Amino acid sequence: MADLESFRAETRAWLEANCPEEMRQPIRDDDDVCWGGRNVKFKSEAQKLWLERMGAKGWTVPEWPKQYGGGGLDRAEAKVLAEEMRRIKARSPLSSFGIWMLGPALLKYGNEAQKLEHLPKIARGEIRWCQGYSEPGAGSDLASLRTSAEDKGDHYLVNGSKVWTSYADKADWIFCLVRTDPTAPKHLGISFLLFDMASEGVSTSPIKLISGSSPFCQTFFDNVKVPKENLMGEPGKGWTIAKYLLTHERNMIGGSDSTGGGQRDSVSNIARKLIGLDAAILADTALRTDIARHEMNALAFSLTMERVLAEAKAGQDTGALSSMLKYYGTELNKERMELLMSIRGSDGLTWEGEEKGEGDLARSWLRSRANSIEGGTSEVQLNIIAKRVLDLPGA
Amino acid sequence: MADLESFRAETRAWLEANCPEEMRQPIRDDDDVCWGGRNVKFKSEAQKLWLERMGAKGWTVPEWPKQYGGGGLDRAEAKVLAEEMRRIKARSPLSSFGIWMLGPALLKYGNEAQKLEHLPKIARGEIRWCQGYSEPGAGSDLASLRTSAEDKGDHYLVNGSKVWTSYADKADWIFCLVRTDPTAPKHLGISFLLFDMASEGVSTSPIKLISGSSPFCQTFFDNVKVPKENLMGEPGKGWTIAKYLLTHERNMIGGSDSTGGGQRDSVSNIARKLIGLDAAILADTALRTDIARHEMNALAFSLTMERVLAEAKAGQDTGALSSMLKYYGTELNKERMELLMSIRGSDGLTWEGEEKGEGDLARSWLRSRANSIEGGTSEVQLNIIAKRVLDLPGA
Amino acid sequence: MALVLTEDQQMIRDSAEGFFKDEAPVSQHRALRDAKDATGFSRDVWTRMAGMGFAGVLVPEAHGGADMGHVAAGIILEAMGKNLSAAPMLSTAVLGATALRAGTPEQQAKYLPLIAQGAHLLALAADEAARHKPSHVATTATPSGNGFRLNGVKGFVLDGHVADTLIVAARTDGETDDRAGITLFLVNPKADGVKIDRRSMVDSRNAAKVTLSDVQVDGADVLGNVGEGFAILEKMLDAGRACLAAEMLGVSGQAFATTVDYLKQREQFGQKIGSFQALQHRAAHLFCEIELARSATLKALQALDEGSDRAPMFVSLAKAKAGDVAILATNEGVQMHGGIGMTDEYDIGFFMKRARAAQETFGDSAFHGDRIARQLGY
Amino acid sequence: MALVLTEDQQMIRDSAEGFFKDEAPVSQHRALRDAKDATGFSRDVWTRMAGMGFAGVLVPEAHGGADMGHVAAGIILEAMGKNLSAAPMLSTAVLGATALRAGTPEQQAKYLPLIAQGAHLLALAADEAARHKPSHVATTATPSGNGFRLNGVKGFVLDGHVADTLIVAARTDGETDDRAGITLFLVNPKADGVKIDRRSMVDSRNAAKVTLSDVQVDGADVLGNVGEGFAILEKMLDAGRACLAAEMLGVSGQAFATTVDYLKQREQFGQKIGSFQALQHRAAHLFCEIELARSATLKALQALDEGSDRAPMFVSLAKAKAGDVAILATNEGVQMHGGIGMTDEYDIGFFMKRARAAQETFGDSAFHGDRIARQLGY
């Protein structure tokens, strides 16, 4: 414990000295989030400095081993770091699918050369990754994917296309599910391939969403040559890696990241500001009932995340519960956005107006509708719970 | 129109002269409802007189032809009769599955001899019928029924058992689905048989429900001999008749009968009386929100019944909508009972207390849970809507 | 009145459905949106709508209208909802005509024929709170010259950016939330002191912010009696709400039809997704909900035509139910479409946007649930 | 505190689950019901529960209790919920012990050991309104002799028919709905002027109506300070509510397990009904809901053990969530069982009855939703 306290003191001092003042301000818009990559455009010198300093210490990925660019911290130390960052309201230096998704899979399934090659670049924000899972017309049905990787001796020849690749137009590399054995049954012929988006034959086309933004792309592969050493794990075992990785994604979407964590203002606080009180209760009693019901569920849900984490830490088996967190968390977030739209009334309908930020709520609301579709639809999560947790029979 | 007005005047005069004062009082308990039958026990002389007088005029079944014991009225005249009865708050003289269910099917599928034999006795309340559809372990899956009717030349030999036969222990005759052709595929070997519950080999055993009452029986057939002329419709066409009849039953359960019509006090009136107002709104605002939501749906539902009837009258095809009425009406009634339990709070929990009527609400609440099971479960109704109305593909 | 369309009304329905499908389909809505069209609708289509008698659906025949009543107006709006047709139907033909019918003979003679011809656009400038509350009027009208001087700010003035006349609710007496003391004025948007800021909305329609700074109106511009404008305003709003319910019914119906079609075509895991029972049950439930919304809406429109005392209750029922159902139908539509439902390329998202905007217009289901409860005394 | 059971608590869970499954299973509940047992529970089982330390779970060790805390109490109640075990656990071991811990040293010494031994039963006589409102106390306590004279009527006194001591909330000051001015009294039910009418409830448990007519109590029977009883009452109620949440969690869990088993066995239309996707999705959703109720309940019990300021909020969350989930779980259970779920022969109906009764006890989810909203300032 004494060690931990001295670690805390050192950490606090280092953060005080190294975290630029600007990086201690709340995130205002998308530009404030740093995604790194070859073509990174830093919004400010402070943002650049903060990434470099944290990357150099490995604290963008505190628990990864030092030889792979990580901080080499144990769980307790990582918690101290997180607490100390929260204390000074330090921003996360780097947002990255490499950190959230590929990294954990690489650590588990990658070979030593792959780990040494890719993990440090992820940690320092040098390479930005995207994910190639879904295919046009396949939706949640990942097992029916058709993108082929033909074995050409020293390389694979990749043909096909992927859809819903987040920020593929901005990414440097892709981790991609491909079919290496066209004769094997559905799940079995799939492999997990890493390759450079700058390879010849790769092209991307952004998908415009109902919210007006284009965070996703369709990505096309036309005779893309990928070196054989870029295969991760065993050939035909891509499905296992994908499932492992999807679990991480589900936790991310269902969890505090995209449904927002403690930093968001509560629905009732927003309602109180906008609608006001009447005799100490919210002036709109029907909305109050709905808000209270929502907030109770949101609170019970966040306690459930806390409990699942605590149980996992205590060594209990919680693996199949990621579907629950994904399902319930995304449905709650949609409900939250619907309530905010109701609370804001006609003001929430604005798409474009004279002031900056008008239209943000409507866009966020529309964006939230995708929560229960991306990363496995709510229906797929319920199927998984029914089959894997409840062990109900197949149809 | 002049004819109709004179009919109204005659009807009014007749009702005034013939409807006993006691039969103009609201129905207080089950004994106030007359079900007729061989073993009928009239609660009062007035109840007996009212049934005899109405039966003699055929006005227990105003639109049935006169030769079958009906009133021979046209739709407009029947409406006048109903209006005039409502005007003096006259009770219905007879409750009867014969009228609601078997009668319409007999009129459509029965032969002349069967009509002449059975319809007048139904009209006069002399014979009380019950329904033999469901079988133990088959639930909503009527097509898999196993009760057999073996062709023995001049008679069928019936063996098997039925469950959920309403008031089978009080009924005189049963209309019953039986399998006459064990080799035909599921729906095709089924026939529609009428027989006397006093026949040798018929026995009944009441089923105790969670509400404490036993309105249903299990009914056993042990080598029951049924004359061949008691088969209704063609052999093997029982399924068609059953479907026709279920539609009537669905309308009855989903419609005004068991979900209650205009006579019931509204949820909000009950809440206002028990909970009271505060600044002109219900003192419990959360309950108020839920009650308002329920009452809006209840009102929209009753308007939907009105619209479906109006459309049917205007010659539009509304056949498949009976599943909608059954599904939505029963779910609404369950919701109503849940709300009433909430409104009554701890008082609603009483099962037995010193005063008469204590425990009634809890029993009605428990009874209501069967609404969405009997007469085809809510799930079956939704399947029917999906397949027949929306034409969605089979699994 | 039987709760069913008459033969005449069925004919209106058929011709309205044909008209909007041909003349103002969803693709036109998309094109206007993409062009960032400043008007937000096609004036040409509006002229042809007038030619069909739609603009004058609530205008008396004596003033050149078709005078077909509220059920007919709802039928037209439902067809517009199915096609997401944008036109100043609600603001001018429903709200405007309803308002002017309460006007003086001179006002009627001046405006009603123009409305029926599609030659004059009106807009209601009433809301001041983001959550609809019609009695919340802080805008003042103080005596001045032979009339009044108006000061205040109005939000959410639908079609305010193109209106030829604004109908402004202002307070001549009483406190901000009082029903008494509100007076309606016909205001020329080009008058001195009127400032109009157009805002485009999520559904690509327009609602202006209208700022009134010492705007002088004369006595002839008062609509109805001074201090008694709330009753007219409620009448306008109820006509508008019932027609919005009808429009949302069209939105729900079309979103549902599109979704059911998709369920029948799309395959996943080797099966049509419409064969999955969980989706079947949700679709079947939604079917029932839409039927309930249909009944409530027809009843509300009929009650307005009958001048029934219970019209406000049925209108609130229709607005609340059709609104909730439209939200459900479009949310389910997007979810059942999956990822492509989130893309701008597919139409289903447009229906979701319109459903939300219509839900927030003239009171959402929470507002109307409260209104019904108050009417029923709880 | 990590939101997870400690190893000690897991051991308590295992022993409680084993105990109630063996000693007080649903069949015992049915037998008591069928026998119309006047006590409504087995005194023998209660004695053995005391032997296990359950009766003294909240009694300090100094007074012979096991002092295991609220999490442990909840674990015991959850096991009771799974088996529908009836015993005066809530009224005596939770409410009674919590009340007496606020008593004088003499009161503690007199009552707490007896509670722990299972030798003395208590009952809370507080509610006067059918919908729970603890400040609604009209029962009066007027000074008389060296004490007070009580007059009033109490409804819904759980286990009041067997109590050896009643804990009565009466007003020594203030108006009916004031929180201040309420005083708690320990009242002998055999005292002059106390009338107890047993009522059996839908879940076959008992709640008495207690009528107090000039009942004389002396100063030593006051629990806590005069006029400050509400704080103790809230503490009692919160302990009771959290334990009821735990019991309802047990009810939900067992009803769900029974239903899932049924889905795996029952065939219809030639298939296991558990293979129907619509039922699968409903079951999966219900699974999630039960997990949420579990988290909220554990947090509430931990917050009570920690003496956290936020305990009342977490308790209300747990009571509301566990209550709604229990209603959902038992309703779905009956519906998925179909017709046989409606028969008295199957146990699922008992779970539905207990869920409803527990939901209405000490505030339903509407009450607690309101309480949370007030605590959060809206």
Residue range A320-343: average pLDDT? 94
List, for residues B25-41, the tens digit of each pLDDT value.
988 777 889 999 999 99
Q: Which of A61-75, A97-111, B178-192, D303-317 has the lowest mean pLDDT?
A: B178-192
Please state, for a pLDDT cut of 70, what percent of chain A lies above it.
Answer: 94
Q: What is the pLDDT of residue D224?
A: 97
Closest CA to D281 of B195, A227, A47, C276: C276
Q: Which phi and psi angles does C242 have, rounded to 5°?
A: -65, -40
Whether A157 has a pLDDT exceeding 90, the answer reads yes
Predicted confidence at residue A357, as pLDDT, reads 80
Q: Which chains touch B (3 or more CB pairs under 8 A)?
A: A, C, D
pLDDT over 50 at C260, yes or no: yes
For residue A197, give every residue at least 6 positions away whose Cβ sits within 8 Å of its Cβ, in sequence order, or none.
A130, A168, A171, A172, A173, A174, A204
Residue B245: its pLDDT value, please? Answer: 82
Give the distance from residue A267's alpha carbon to the nearest chain D alpha carbon, in angstroms.
Answer: 11
D85 half-sphere exposure, CB direction, 13 A CA radius = 30
Q: Which residue has the tokens 């519960």?
A: A321
* Chain C nearest-CA residue for D278: C278
> Which of D129, D268, D334 is facing B141, going by the closest CB pair?
D268
A251 band by pLDDT with thresholds 50, 70 and 90 = low
Looking at the complex, report in whole angstroms how far the Cα of residue D370 sits from the nearest Cα belonging to chain C.
17
Tell me the C-alpha distance between B97 and B172, whole Å.
12
Q: Do D360 and B348 touch (CB under 8 A)?
A: yes
Kindly state the tokens that stand for D349.
Answer: 């109906």
State whether B210 and D370 contact (CB < 8 Å). Answer: no
Whole-number pLDDT of residue D261: 98
Looking at residue A257, its pLDDT comes to 37
Chain D nearest-CA residue for A394: D275
The C-alpha atoms of residue D222 and residue B182 are separated, in whole angstroms, by 78
Q: What distance, in Å, lies between the first and last C-alpha atoms of chain A?
A: 54
| C-alpha distance from B291 to closest chain A C-alpha (Å) | 11
Encoded tokens for A273 = 């500001």
- Listed as ranges, residues in chain D with pLDDT below 70 are none
DSSP D82-117: HHT---TIIIIIIIIHHHHTTS-HHHHHHHHHHHHH
Residues of C in contact with D285 (CB under 8 A): none
Please tell me the predicted confidence (pLDDT) of residue B139.
66
According to the model, what pLDDT value does residue B258 have?
35
CATH superfamily of A257-389: Butyryl-CoA Dehydrogenase, subunit A, domain 3 (1.20.140.10)
ipTM score:
0.91
**Numbered ranges of CATH 2.40.110.10 in chain D:** 123-227
What is the rounded average pLDDT of the residues B364-382? 93
Does domain D7-120 fall into CATH 3.40.50.2000? Answer: no
| CATH node for A129-236 | 2.40.110.10
pLDDT of the residue at B395 = 58
A385 and chain C in contact, CB less than 8 A: no
**B129-138, C220-229, D3-12, D220-229: lowest mean pLDDT where?**
B129-138
Residue B389's alpha-carbon distances to B193, B242, C17, C332, in angstroms, are 30, 19, 22, 18
SS3 D213: strand
Rounded distance between C-alpha atoms, residue C238 and residue C303, angstroms? 11
Contacts of A304 in chain D (CB under 8 A): 291-292, 294-295
Residue C279 to chain D, least CA–CA distance (Å): 8
Tell me what the mean pLDDT of segment A209-216 comes to: 90
Q: What is the pLDDT of residue C364?
A: 97
Averaged pLDDT for residues B353-366: 86
In the 8-state DSSP scheme, what is residue A140?
Answer: T
Furthest-apart CA atoms within chain D: distance in Å: 78
Residue C239 confidence (pLDDT): 98
Label residue C333 by pLDDT band (50, 70, 90): very high
For the segment B174-180, the average pLDDT, to the nearest whole number, is 95
Whole-prediction pTM: 0.91
Cα gap D61→D75, rounded to integer Å: 19
Q: What is the CATH number of domain C123-227?
A: 2.40.110.10
Identity of the amino acid at B86: R
* Minimum CA–CA partner of D354 in chain B: B349
- How far is C-alpha D17 from the geometric centre of its chain's CA atoms? 18
Task: Name the pairing type of β-strands C147-158 and C206-218.
Answer: antiparallel
The verdict on D276 touching C (C-beta cutoff 8 Å) is yes
Q: Which residues are bridge partners to B148 per DSSP? A: B159, B179
**Chains that contact A by 3+ CB pairs under 8 Å?**
B, C, D
Band (pLDDT 50/70/90 cuts) for residue A254 is very low
Is A30 in a helix, a strand, or coil? helix
Average pLDDT over chain C reads 97
For chain B, what are the domain ranges? 2-95, 129-236, 257-389
In this structure, how many other beta carbons lie within 10 angstroms of the beta carbon of residue B280? 9
Chain B residue numbers with beta carbons less than 8 Å from the beta carbon of A284 are: none
- Give the Å distances, CA to CA, from B299 to B303, C240, C252: 6, 21, 20
Instruction: Output the pLDDT for position A301.
Output: 97
C147's tokens: 């009339």
- Which of C277, C279, C285 is best to mutate for the D interface (most D CBs within 10 A)? C277
User: Which of chain D's residues have a Cβ under 8 Å away from the Cβ of B144?
Assistant: 269-270
Report which of A66, A44, A259, A228 is spatially closest to residue A153, judged by C-alpha positions: A228
Place of tokens 């009849």: B245
Q: Give me the pLDDT at residue D227, please.
A: 97
3 state SS of A183:
coil
Q: Do C155 and A139 touch (CB under 8 A)?
A: no
Average pLDDT over residues A246-265: 53
Residue B321 and residue C291: Cβ atoms within 8 Å?
A: yes
Contacts of A288 in chain B (CB under 8 A): 285-286
pLDDT, tens digit (0-9, with 9 covering 90-100), for C161-194? 999 999 999 999 999 999 999 999 999 999 999 9
Beta strands, E only, chain D: 122-125, 140-144, 147-158, 165-171, 182-187, 194-201, 206-218, 222-223, 267-268, 271-272
Statement: residue B260 has pLDDT above 80: no
Give me Rg for the CA atoms of chain D. 21
Q: Do A350 and C268 touch (CB under 8 A)?
A: no
Q: Do D331 and B369 touch (CB under 8 A)?
A: yes
Q: Are strands B129-132 and A277-278 parallel, antiparallel or unpaired?
A: unpaired
**Residue A298 in contact with partner chain D when CB distance is under 8 A:** no
- C242 has a pLDDT exceeding 80: yes
Which residue, among B277, B278, B281, B285, would best test binding to A if mutated, counting the most A CBs under 10 Å from its CB?
B285
Which residues lie closer than 8 Å to D165 by C-beta, 6 or more apart? D96, D111, D120, D121, D122, D123, D186, D187, D188, D189
Q: Which residues of C touch D268 (CB under 8 A)?
A: none
CA C66, CA C54: separation in Å to the nearest integer?
A: 8
CB pair distance less than 8 Å for B164 and D338 = no
Task: Find, in chain C, the residue whose alpha carbon is nearest to that of D275.
Answer: C277
**Chain B residue numbers touching A285 (CB-CB < 8 A):** 281, 285, 288-289
The hierarchical CATH code for the domain D231-375 is 1.20.140.10
Q: Which CATH number fits domain A2-95: 3.40.190, 3.40.50, 1.10.540, 1.20.120?
A: 1.10.540
Q: Which contiguous run of DSSP H or E holds residue C187?
A: strand C182-187
Segments of chain C assigned to CATH 1.20.140.10: 231-375
Q: Are strands B173-179 and B129-132 parallel, antiparallel or unpaired?
A: parallel
Give the nearest chain B residue to C374 (CA atoms).
B281
Tell me the shortest Cα–Cα distance from B189 to chain A, in angstroms: 27
What was the pLDDT predicted at B314? 86
- Residue B289 is predicted with a pLDDT of 96
Q: How far is C269 from chain A (nearest CA, A)?
A: 6
Q: Of A1-5, C60-64, C223-227, which gets the smallest average pLDDT?
A: A1-5
Q: Which region holds residue B69: left if phi is over 0, alpha if psi is between -120 and 50, else beta?
A: left
Is A283 in CB contact (< 8 Å) with chain D? no
Give the residue on D whose Cα is nearest the Cα of A284. D378
Q: Which of A77, A84, A135, A249 is catalytic?
A: A249
**pLDDT range class, residue B1, cuts 50, 70, 90:** low
Least confident of A26-30, A281-285, B48-52, D77-81: A26-30
Sort out which chain D residues have CB atoms less than 8 A from C280's CB and list them: 278
3-state secondary structure of C246: helix
